[in-house]
Structure 1
Amino acid sequence: MGASPASGWRANIVLYAALAANLGIAVAKFVAAAITGSSSMLTEGVHSLVDSGNQGLLLYGQRRAKRPPDPEHPFGYGRELYFWAFVVAILIFGLGAGVSVYEGWKHIAQPEHLRDPLVNYIVLGVAMLLEGTSWAIALKEFAASKGEMGWWEAVRESKDPAGFIVLFEDSAALAGLVVAGAGVWASHAWSDPRIDGAASIAIGCILATVAVLLAREAKGLLIGERANPEVVECVRAIVGRQPGIVRINHVRTIHTAPDRIFVAISADFEDHITMGAGETLIETIEHELKAALPMLSSIYIRPEKAEDAPQVAAVG
């Protein structure tokens, strides 16, 4: 049964909130930059515009990832979301950080006289309010999903990039707003417009750091990551307690989507088990695994003796 529109909206509330906030903020920042000639405000506008595009790409990726399996992609299209998450990281680095550093350098090389900063302060205040609301929503949703894990551990173990990407983007946006505000104030206080350019470069460095972190996490998901250790241990426990199983040789898993896992199990069956009994045992194991772990979309169980099973340094 497909998800209702309401449930789809609820699942993507972080992305929709961030998209709405960034679109409004981008327009306001560009208007303020045009009125005041602030370099840091211009780069902040580019930052918000890039963030808006990123949320759009993640929503697009989520929709594409929900396509059902077909003969060409028998495990579905779930990992396409990871591809778009990697694209988002590249855009943050190339467009967000790149434009910010370039505009800052240009403003230092050719300083422009700053006009009344009041408009900048108003826009920065509104942007702080909107970004803070989006950040609070993203933080609440991610905190609810991480359970007992620490924050960084939760990011490393997360298989759904949308949640932590928005959280990282909003955190970078809030830091950028603080830097932009400080740059505008210092430029006027000390009558040196080059400080505003330096603030733009600082914002670019913040974005570059976030982009590198996101790219590293997205790369791991795109290549293929194992399921969380708790899932692997649950699989081992269910298989290991079955009568007729001598030992488990290995359990190998890979996420084919944030909520779908392929698992391959090699187990040593008792020698006296007939082919018919073995088939029944495999069906029983598959039924119990899917009942306990609904995210197991594909289960492969291979009976083989321990000495015949290929050995690997790590399992999961």
Structure 2
Amino acid sequence: MKGESLRTVLVAAAANLAIALAKLVAGLVGGSAAMLSEAVHSAADTVTELLLVVAVRRSGRPADRRHPFGHGKAGFVWALMAAVATLVGGAGFSVTNGLHEIGYGEDLSNLTPAYIVLAASFVFEGVSFARGLTQLRGEAARHRVGMLRLARMTSDTALKAVLFEDAAALGGLLVAAAGLVASQLTGSALWDGAASVMIGLLLLAVALTLIRANMSLLIGQAVTQRTETGIRAVLLAQPEVEDVVELLTMLIGPGEILVAAKIDFRDESSAAGVERACEEVDRRLRAQVPGVEHVFLDPTPTRR
């Protein structure tokens, strides 16, 4: 999964770098604030995706003595930094640049290059977005959940960031095109400036959503209720298990789950039987619940 996420991020980074340069040239030629905002938007997305490459690589490092559970949460740290880059670099510039144009006005000149770049950018962003959707569809089928639900809840921060940012990029391109058309028809740069502000607000919403998601993962987010129910069902299906006293889960990396449970074993179970049951539960959890990496079971009687 991490290899697939890395390919998705690299495709998005290559597309955004080319698009950023094209938008910059078109924005300078036409004097459009919305196009310059789109150029910064794509540049910020490129930086974001380079940080996501670091996130995928760092999270894939093996466990060591100081990090016995692996380096999965490093992916959350770098993904958080990527979201902050989108917030500061993309949203901040777009809003301030748009407000400046609304307040002081700019003379728009040749907008033909801008329209060509917007159309080409929409195609490239669409290809990147389609790549992310393909990966999301595959993972949704593997987890047997809906694509929208998985997009909201996934701990694969690289995939989530690419999907959200590409969706914002496609929306931003439509807003920029609408602003250019309105300014050209009315002769007023107000609409171009307003489009720039709207692009900034769109980036702000995406950045805050990703920051919130990564903060939750860093704090120690549990798995979804559906996954927890599946884990509990596997535990209760073991013949030696009387009851699940307490079940705790945590996402310790992209697609990696830690399970800790207090189990009330049947009184007639021997010590050897409990040991065998624990081994069987560990095996079945790893086989039936995607992402389970660590399982800790504590024999605990139910308090009556």
Distance in 2 (alpha carbons) for counterparts of 1:209 and 1:164? 14
Q: How do 1:150-169 and structure 2 match up within 5 A?
A: 150-169=146-165
Deviations 1:76-106 (A, max 9, x none): 1101111222222222222111100111111
Partner of 1:61: 55
Letter of the 1:26 partner, please give it: A
Q: How do 1:82-161 and structure 2 match up within 5 A?
A: 82-147=76-141, 149-161=145-157
Deviations 1:27-51 (A, max 9, x none): 0111112222111111110000000
- CA shift, 1:274, in A, is 3.9
Distance in 1 (alpha carbons) for counterparts of 2:140 and 2:287? 23
Partner of 1:307: 303
Which residue of 141, 146, 170 corresponds with 2:166? 170
Q: Is 1:217–2:180 an aligned residue pair?
A: no
Letter of the 1:241 partner, please give it: A
- Structural RMSD (CA): 2.1
Partner of 2:29: 35
CA spacing shift, 1:190–1:20, aligned 2, 3 Å: same
- CA shift, 1:120, in A, is 1.0
CA spacing shift, 1:129–1:287, aligned 2, 3 Å: closer
Q: Which moved more, 1:49-58 or 1:239-248?
A: 239-248
Q: Which runs of 5+ in 1 are unaligned?
A: 309-316
Distance in 2 (alpha carbons) for counterparts of 1:65 and 1:168? 21
Which residue of 168, 181, 187 corresponds with 1:185? 181
Distance in 2 (alpha carbons) for counterparts of 1:266 and 1:167? 38
Q: Which runs of 5+ in 2 are unaligned?
A: none
Distance in 1 (alpha carbons) for counterparts of 2:290 and 2:107? 62
- CA shift, 1:174, in A, is 1.2
Partner of 1:25: 19
- CA shift, 1:226, in A, is 1.8
Look up the SS of the partner of 1:116 in the other structure: coil
Q: Is 1:275–2:296 an aligned residue pair?
A: no
CA spacing shift, 1:156–1:127, aligned 2, 3 Å: closer
Identity score, percent: 36
Larger relative helix fraction: 2
Q: Which moved more, 1:281-290 or 1:81-90?
A: 281-290
Partner of 1:314: none
Deviations 1:55-80 (A, max 9, x none): 11111101001111122221111011
Partner of 2:192: 196
Distance in 2 (alpha carbons) for counterparts of 1:134 and 1:194? 31
- CA shift, 1:230, in A, is 4.2
- Alpha carbons 2:59, 2:254 under 8 Å: kept: no
Number of residue pairs the alignment of both structures matches: 302
